[in-house]
Amino acid sequence: MPEIPLIDLHLDAASIVPLFEQVYDGLRQRIVSGQILAGSRLPPSRKLAQELGVSRTTIVTAYEQLEAEGFVQGRPGAGVYVTEIGEVESRALSPAKLKAHKPTPEGLKAFHPGQMDDRLFPYQKWAQCVSKVARTDPKALVVSSDPFGDFELRVQICRYLADWRGVNASPDQVMITAGSGDALEICVRTLLKAGDTLALEDPGYPPLRTFVESYGLKACWLDTDEHGVMPPKGKAKMTILTPSSHFPLGGALPQVRRNAFLKWAANADSWIIEDDYDSEFRYAGRPIPALASLDTQERTVYVGSFSKIFSNGLRLGFLVMPQRKISAFTHSLRKFGGKASVAPQRALALFMKTGDFYRHIRRVRRIYGERRTVLMQLIDEHLGDIGVYEDYRAGMQIAVKLNKGYDDQRIAKAAADHGIVCFALSGYYASKPPQQGLLLGFCSFTEDEMTRAMVTLKVLINRL
């Protein structure tokens, strides 16, 4: 079929619904209702973007969402075509009802850091995996025969770690957890006792401070130099590190310092917990190998999560324990019980096995990379005269260090009062003089959303 004429879509730039989602929804309704017939070729993204007055990224993202849900199919060199979908129940609600019943999305206020974009989730593919498990092995949705979690999922995690993180482990070493926080609790209960000292990065993740106190532990803070954090000088029994992408400042721990930490752990009979929270989001080259891949002394426990790379709603993570500590972790799990939900585990294993998991990572990494570039351009244009940042070509947020004279807490509060989320960098420091700055996330936000928010943020800063 020939290309359809340019589509008459009415977009509302002031709506809480993102522009790409408005484009997607308008096209989807026309496809479902039959206004756009199967086999029709959609307008080229650049052409439609010019017609609607939006960025080409907005149209590309809408097309990709339609393709992920099976409404269209891209043909290399030929364009994007509507597929045969059969009968689909149309969402025929009136605009008034949609507006009245659509809640304000949580976590979608620019520039909330570390948040994945749930709008990019491959719902159709995921539903197919859940449906297949429900048909072929429904028991796997409610019952787990192994306290460490679904065996098939642990096998897929081992393959993923070997290919992407350089970590060689057996399924027996993998435990499924209810996110990275649950994994850290299990590590502490298994490897430490009340009164032990836990070394933490400074700046670092603030909830860890409360975590340390709640378990009756002592905290010490890691010093830093031009090479990053340094091994503890005291008698710490454990340290928690983010070596692949430091939180919140960004940047990877160099090889010389990784070796120093491994040597420290072996000599001090201590443990390293590697929190590998977003290593997949490296926008130049392959992800940096995990610290655990270098550990020949079995002193490192690797902690991973699906919250940043797949879905926060599933609340699934995992840890990889040293072979010689399997019995200790088993005893701890029997004593305190597990928290990880059984229902999504087999479906996630199937999702990984089919390759859809990796395709999803590559897709969102490309989109996040484009959004990162947009944010850096906006920072250069609007904040370049009041602060600086390091481009580490990785991560889910950018830390902008403000010049002297700026109060990041006041800026963050003023921004929050106007619907903008930008966390004050000073709040991540525990022991040393804090750096004034703003932590700006980009993964959850389109170019249009970030542009509007940045213009408002600069106006607010100028008023303070």
- CA-CA distance, 368 to 282, in Å (whole number)? 10
Q: Considering the entire predicted model, what is its pTM?
A: 0.78
Q: So what's the pLDDT on residue 97?
A: 44
- CA-CA distance, 342 to 355, in Å (whole number)? 21
Q: So what's the pLDDT on residue 150?
A: 97
Residue 98 predicted with pLDDT over 60: no
Q: So what's the pLDDT on residue 134?
A: 96
Q: Where does the pLDDT of residue 5 fall: very low under 50, low under 70, confident under 90, or very high at 90 and above?
A: low
Average pLDDT over residues 124-134: 96
pLDDT tens for 21-57 read 999 988 898 888 888 888 888 889 888 888 888 899 9
Count other C-beta atoms under 10 Å from residue 53's C-beta: 10
Mean pLDDT is lowest, of 89-93, 242-246, 406-410, for 89-93
Residue 94 predicted with pLDDT over 60: no
Q: Which residue from 421, 420, 140, 186 is spatially nearest to 301, judged by alpha carbons?
A: 186
**Domains of the chain from N-terminus onward:** 1-100 (1.10.10.10), 124-356 (3.40.640.10), 360-463 (3.90.1150.10)
Q: Where does the pLDDT of residue 3 fall: very low under 50, low under 70, confident under 90, or very high at 90 and above?
A: low
Beta-bridged to residue 73, according to DSSP, are 81
- For residue 27, the SS3 value is helix
Amino acid at 297: Q
Q: Where does the pLDDT of residue 6 fall: very low under 50, low under 70, confident under 90, or very high at 90 and above?
A: low
